[in-house]
Chains A and B, each alone.
Chain A
Amino acid sequence: MFNIHPLIWLIPLPPLLGFVLIVLFTRRSNRTSHNVALVGSGLSFVASMVVFFKAVTTDGLAGSPISASINWLPTGADWLRIGVLVDPLTAVMLFFVAWTVLMIFIYSIGYHNFGQPAGRNDRPGFSPEGAEAKEHGKAHKVPSVEPMYARFFALLSLFAFAMYLLVVSDNLLTLYIGWEIMGFCSYFLIGFWYGKESARKAGIKAFITTRIGDVFMLLGMVALYSVTGTLNFHEIFSNPQTMLMLTSTQSPAFGLNWAGLIGLLLFCGTVGKSAQFPLHVWLPDAMEGPTPVSAMIHAATMVSAGVYLSARLFPLMSAGWHHGGALTAPMAAMAVIGGFTALFTSTIALAQHDIKRVLAYSTISQLGYMIAALGIGAYTAAVFHLVTHAFFKALLFLGSGSVIHGMEHGVLHTGNHIDPQDMRHMGGLRRRMPLTFWTFLAGGLALSGFPLITAGFWSKDEILNGTFTGGHIGLFIVLAITAFLTAFYTARQITLVFFGKPRSTAAEHAHETKPVMTVPLMILAIFAIGAGWAGIPHAFPVLGAISPAWFQSFIGSMLSPQSIEEAHSNIPLIVSVLVSLGGLLLGWLVYRCMETAEEKDPLQKISGSVYNLLQNKYWIDELYQKALINPSLWLADKVVYQFIDLKIIDGILHGLGRAGVGLGNLLRAKFDLPVVNGAGDGLAGSTRGLGVFLHKLQNGRVQTYLLIAVACTVVLVLVICFLIGEGVIGVTE
């Protein structure tokens, strides 16, 4: 077997190269640009698959992962090393990242209407509005190609690069670099149609909200480095002395040990990136970006990166914990935040009308699931759900993009301007878009955990089983309710979109999208169904006997023996089947009879005010606006500008001026003598002269600035050397 190391180094590079090539050379040609991007991601895909299969066939990979590193930055006597690391976790990450990214790239070609004419009114920064085309002798509107087509692929390539970099890096620093590049790309891609104000705002919101988490993460990294002297995962986690030191040393904050404090800080990064409560607000707004971006951010890469970080740092988070024991502080925080987020956002998803927003909230909810699972130590289950979720959520997003595309076609065709993303205007698309329907159905069933055949069932069942057998009954109930709600809103979505009769003329004229979009859907659908079979637990009735439970043994080898749980109970299994089927059935029953777009949502009829609360997302955005953003704006305007600047600083100046005037008047009145008068004039004159002199400093001429700088330097050096020190060189003696 050839040496695998260079290949691991090379995985992230083709997309980066693609980005550079597109930006510098090929941006004028749409075809070349997407070819470059496709070749880039394709090469990464191939390399990832080779590495994946190599990893799978290596025995004892977790104990001795494939890794290599080089010196990077000299830090005094030591070097900061960067390198790559492939262990079971990296391997499965590579697998699903490579597949979903490649599918999204291919899909984007169709989504951005490659090959269609350019619209007359299309401008960069706005989503294309459609072009006039003549077909069969009569003119009608057709979708037009995206004006910034090449730019899109360039940014998507950069995004893919960052994700691969994050996955293969063996230390927190390069992981953090990939992490931040992704933040940057998400800002650009969410605000891709920057002509729309909402898109601009959403981009900024995503960037700033995730940044809040990133700052804490950076603090955690700094703390980790200063305590252990390294950021390399393997060096930290496989060194019992380091781990012992981390768990036994008290940190300066909150009475936690260092592992707890660092774990909590790093977990803040996950909260931002994976959109957990209270930083979840950016993710739904991120739906302003083009749909492939939504799939990229919310399924394949960015939010997965957050969970990946937590999974990667699990040994740190769980340091000092053993199965069945009390949770450590970071784990407890993860369990609580994850469980709460899962339930909280799944209720919001019940009342959304925008097809993508429902998916966005369901993403947050499912991420909460994974975080909660990690929090109670169900490591394998969490990673398993991460993988299956990536597949079916990418599928659902791309499917919703296909639906929107079909609806847009209908909108253009009929000229009837409705929101093509509003589910109330859809309906009956089952017959119009059969391929999209079947694949979306597969994704939806996986999301709601339809028993036995879908991947989502297996991973969700694992998590529920973990919470139940771990003795966390409260969390188990929360997650079970979440699973029920998930099944319900998924059924609502599928029913509203695909079943019944079309509720608008646009829906009547929607038609199936091109193969370049539907083929990725079908491939992802295969994974959405089949990925779960890799992880059927041994203890599962009937099927467990013939299942190799490959996933459990592969990922489970990452854990130390005391964290592994083997217990299996049939109660969570039954609950999981019941909530899934019950939710789906109920959702279908409630929504199947919606006839027109104007009709009230059945839930709204039952509980109006609660429904409003949900539809407005518990007014969290408004709360942040009122409680955080407005006060800081107010502070900036009223306090800093109007009060400090205008009142205090100007006030002092004016006060000084007035005092001077008053004093002058006093002097004039009392001692109206030529001498005093002259002195006063002299003072005024010199003040004025000073003002004129200072005004001259600000004259926009570089040479003056330089002169001042040099003069100040000379004075400073003279002061330091001859007044403070003992001459220039005498100091060194």
Chain B
Amino acid sequence: MIPLYWFLMLSAVLFSLGLFAVITRRNTISILMGIELMLNAANINILAFWRYLYAPRGDMDGLIFTLIVFVTAAAEVAVGLGLIVSAYRKRRTVVANDLDSLKG
């Protein structure tokens, strides 16, 4: 039997990697990929807690939650990539730091 905290540690490592990508990568697509990694880490967390704490009670919440995260991730990627492509057409760049029209 795999201990619960192994999953949590793996999830923590993946989450940190994703966060690192989001903050340091310059390309918006890389940033989006980092976000995906973070969402995956969160999913591992949710499913692990579900498996060890809730599934024995017959509770469905964890599964449903994961499903909704999937849906959100899909929606986010679709809109995010659409925005990136659109911004690229207008500004000829996908570097996050160059997209600063809203700078005050």
- Which A positions have Cβ atoms within 8 angstroms of B? 698-703, 706-707, 710
Contact = CB atoms under 8 A, between A and B. Distances in A.
Interface string B78-104: 000000000000000000110010111
20 contacts: A698-B104, A699-B100, A699-B103, A700-B100, A700-B102, A700-B103, A700-B104, A701-B96, A701-B103, A703-B22, A703-B23, A703-B24, A703-B31, A703-B96, A703-B97, A706-B22, A706-B23, A707-B23, A710-B19, A710-B23
A668 to B, nearest CB: 38
A695 to B, nearest CB: 12
Contacts of A698: 104
Interface residues of B, number: 11
Contacts of B19: 710
Interface in B47-104: 96-97, 100, 102-104
Interface on chain A toward B: helix, strand, loop, or mixed SS?
helix
A701 B22 contact: no
A702 B23 CA distance: 9
A702 B96 contact: yes
A338 B102 CA distance: 52
A618 B7 CA distance: 75
B23 A701 contact: no
A698 B103 CA distance: 9
A702 B87 CA distance: 16
Contacts of B103: 699-701
Given A699-B103, A710-B19, 8 more contacts: A700-B102, A701-B97, A702-B96, A703-B23, A703-B96, A703-B97, A706-B22, A706-B23
A700 B31 CA distance: 17
Contacts, number: 23
Nearest to B104: A700
A733 to B, nearest CB: 16
A707 B23 CA distance: 6
Contacts of B100: 699-701
A706 B23 CA distance: 7
B85 to A, nearest CB: 18
A701 B97 CA distance: 6
Centre residue among B23, B31, B100, B103 by max chain A CB count within 10 A: B23
Closest 6 CB pairs of A and B: A700-B103, A700-B100, A707-B23, A701-B97, A703-B23, A706-B23
Contacts of B104: 698, 700
A288 B97 CA distance: 48
Nearest to B97: A701
Contacts of B97: 701, 703
B45 to A, nearest CB: 14
Contacts of A699: 100, 103
A643 to B, nearest CB: 25
Contacts of B31: 703
A698 B23 CA distance: 16
A701 B31 CA distance: 13
A703 B19 CA distance: 10
Nearest to A706: B23
A707 B31 CA distance: 13
Interface string B1-42: 000000000000000000100111000000100000000000
A714 to B, nearest CB: 10
Contacts of A703: 22-24, 31, 96-97
A490 B82 CA distance: 63
Nearest to B102: A700
A392 B22 CA distance: 66
Contacts of B23: 703, 706-707, 710
Centre residue among A699, A703, A707 by max chain B CB count within 10 A: A703
Centre residue among A698, A702, A710 by max chain B CB count within 10 A: A702
Contacts of A707: 23
Contacts of A706: 22-23
B16 to A, nearest CB: 10
Nearest to A729: B5
A700 B19 CA distance: 19
A710 B103 CA distance: 21
A317 B101 CA distance: 56
A600 to B, nearest CB: 58
A394 B93 CA distance: 60
A707 B21 CA distance: 11
Contacts of A700: 100, 102-104
A707 B103 CA distance: 17
A707 B24 CA distance: 9
Contacts of B22: 703, 706
A710 B23 CA distance: 10
Nearest to A711: B23
A703 B23 CA distance: 5
A467 to B, nearest CB: 61
B103 to A, nearest CB: 3
A699 to B, nearest CB: 7
A700 B100 CA distance: 6
Nearest to B24: A703
A699 B100 CA distance: 9
A487 to B, nearest CB: 62
Nearest to A701: B97
A705 to B, nearest CB: 10
A616 to B, nearest CB: 45
B39 to A, nearest CB: 15
A643 B100 CA distance: 34
Contacts of B96: 701-703
Nearest to A707: B23
Nearest to A698: B104
A703 B103 CA distance: 13
B30 to A, nearest CB: 11
Nearest to A699: B103
A134 to B, nearest CB: 48
A101 to B, nearest CB: 39
Nearest to B25: A703
A371 B93 CA distance: 65
A702 B102 CA distance: 10
B89 to A, nearest CB: 20
B8 to A, nearest CB: 11
B99 to A, nearest CB: 9
A702 B101 CA distance: 12
B50 to A, nearest CB: 18
A490 B103 CA distance: 60
A515 B34 CA distance: 66
Nearest to A708: B23
Contacts of A702: 96
B97 to A, nearest CB: 5
Nearest to A705: B23
B25 to A, nearest CB: 8
B54 to A, nearest CB: 17
A701 B22 CA distance: 12
